[in-house]
Amino acid sequence: MYKDSSPGEINSVMEAAWEAFHIYRGFSLKQRAGFMRAIAGEIGACGDALIQTAMQETNLPEARLRGERARTIFQLESYAAACEKGDWLEARIDTALPDKNPPRPDIRKMLVPLGPVVVFGASNFPFAYSTAGGDTASAFAAGCPVIVKAHPAHPRTSGIVAAAITRAAEKTGMPKGIFAHITGISFEVGKALITHVHCKAVGFTGSFAGGKQLSDWASQRPEPIPVFAEMGSVNPVFLLPEKLKQSAPEIAVQVAASITLGVGQFCTNPGLIIGIESDALQSFVHDLGKAIQQTLPGIMLHQGIADAFANKREEALMQENVHLVAESLLADDAGESQRTGLPTIATVDGKTFQRNPLLHKEVFGPYSLVVRCADQLEMLQVARQLEGQLTATLMASLADLKNNVELAEAVKNICGRFILNGVPTGVEVCLSMQHGGPFPASTDSRFGAVGADAIRRFVRPLAFQNWPDELLPEELKNANPLHIRRTVNNEVTEGAI
């Protein structure tokens, strides 16, 4: 079984990463991209053994895991392409103006890597947000070595992927120490990594408690470092009156499927549904309850997540004025009742919701709370009181949108992705995606964890003043040998100077 890495092992891994950093940061964008494509190839070559191992460790179905592996390969390949394209470098050049008073020197700025990045993956994405997931791909593209702390819920899966990264590093001539895989159940392992002097940034995907703890450790270091923690969210869905009147049955089916997708184990799971008291809302709650009753309870990722879900669900249902609407009526035929997540819908009035902060918290699993507001004003008050979210959704007609401008403004202010007439589950990997949000959805709302812009988390700006062309990095040379897009004297261009 996997044991906790010792302080001595952690120190040598961090020293090796620091050594590797000074070599890897000088590697070209093409070399970094080649390494990332090689990782993608090695993961693909792991074949069915990788899928079977992940199925055993996570209880996730085969089709989901195959899809997630394909997504992980796509992430590596698309971030590699973005790495080579170089837009993320934000190259800016202002050439010298000797006749200006005072004279302007030649100044050229680009983004440079921070240093070794420690990555903590989530249990619910054993590939896409784990060992070779988005954080690892972003850090390698940025020019940073990576130390992965394997998630204890899927250590063997993590080990296979780590071996694939190591093979890719060897085949593409990467420096020793470019990647390391650390195991450990104890939180001390994570703490030792984050507080090590050579750790320069952290990527985390997981619970609020975990992300906040890591962020606190990082900020209390003698040299504080950034932690990019993507944490839980309740992803509120606002049901506006005209849309609900037109489409309550369809929305109920759509939302029920989103709540129960993957046994509710998505950070974008819609855990809060907010409507205004009406016949349409009653009919929606009835239809949603019926759909939930007919959903088979699935087995959760591991016993710890199943226990946490059962406890948090019970705690939420015990709160004053919270009423159970429906739970699944279908028995779990896998004989695994201890590990199943029972699909559940509850309801509460708007005033109670505003008074009780516990009802604003994520219940990670197939659970959602319908908040019944007395009127439009109460819905606005609820929206203004909500914490930061990864996503927020309006189910609305055009007339609803025109009649609820203040609500839309309030909701826009709390989320990273603002959805109209859709569901929050399903996160496209593309440049325009924002996966992050105001605290506590993430620790830094200026960045996101999905799409190649995620590379920008692990870099810092560096300006070169008065350097001769031959000694500048390729990215900033007059001839623009990499043909990247740069802002030269305030004009965006791919041309030479």
Give the CA angle between residues 447, 147, 129 to the nearest 5°: 50
272/379 with CB nearer ligand NAP: 272
Q: Site map for ligand NAP, 292-331, x if CB under 6 A?
A: -------------x--------------------------
Segment interacting with ligand NAP, rule: CB under 6 A, options 38-46, 91-99, 199-207, 406-414: 199-207
Q: Which of 42, 68, 230, 475 is catalytic?
A: 230
Residue 230 is among the residues annotated as catalytic for this protein: yes
Smallest separation, CB 24 to ligand NAP (Å):
24
Residues of span 47-86 touching ligand NAP by CB under 6 A: none
* Closest CA relative to residue 205, chosen from 229, 227, 225: 229
> Pick from 124, 172, 391, 480: which binds ligand NAP (CB under 6 A)?
124
For residues 334 and 61, give the distance between their C-alpha atoms in angstroms, rounded to a whole number: 14
Give the CA angle between residues 44, 50, 55 to the nearest 5°: 135
38/117 with CB nearer ligand NAP: 117
292/300 with CB nearer ligand NAP: 300
Q: Which of 267, 327, 362, 475 is catalytic?
A: 267
Q: Site map for ligand NAP, 143-172, x if CB under 6 A?
A: ------x-xx--------------------
Enumerate residues 6+ apart whose C-beta is below 8 A from 1: none
Instruction: Give the pair of three-digit tokens for residue 441.
Output: 């959805």
Number of residues forming the site for ligand NAP (CB under 6 A): 29
Q: Site map for ligand NAP, 414-453, x if CB under 6 A?
A: ---------------------x-------------x----
149/200 with CB nearer ligand NAP: 149
Question: How would you classify residue 234: left for phi > 0, otherwise alpha for psi between -120 and 50, otherwise beta?
Answer: alpha
Residues of span 208-267 touching ligand NAP by CB under 6 A: 209-210, 213-214, 230-232, 267
182/280 with CB nearer ligand NAP: 182
DSSP character at residue 284: H
3-state DSSP assignment of residue 188: helix
Segment interacting with ligand NAP, rule: CB under 6 A, options 58-66, 123-131, 235-243, 378-386: 123-131
Concatenated DSSP letters of 195-245 = TSTT--EEEEES-HHHHHHHHHHHHTSSS---EEEE------EEE-HHHHH
Residue 267 is among the residues annotated as catalytic for this protein: yes
> Pick from 126, 206, 289, 343: which binds ligand NAP (CB under 6 A)?
206
* Closest CA relative to residue 265, chosen from 148, 413, 124, 121: 124
Q: How far apart are the first and last CA of the chain?
A: 59
Q: Does 105 bind ligand NAP (CB under 6 A)?
A: no
Contact predicate 418/437, CB 8 Å: no
Smallest separation, CB 419 to ligand NAP (Å):
16
DSSP character at residue 375: S
**Which helix (H) or strand (E) element contains residue 289?**
helix 279-293
Backbone angles phi, psi at 172, to 5 degrees: -105, 10
Residues that bind ligand NAP (CB under 6 A): 120, 122-125, 129, 149, 151-152, 185, 187, 190, 205-207, 209-210, 213-214, 230-232, 267, 305, 362, 364, 390, 435, 449
Return the active site residues: 230, 267
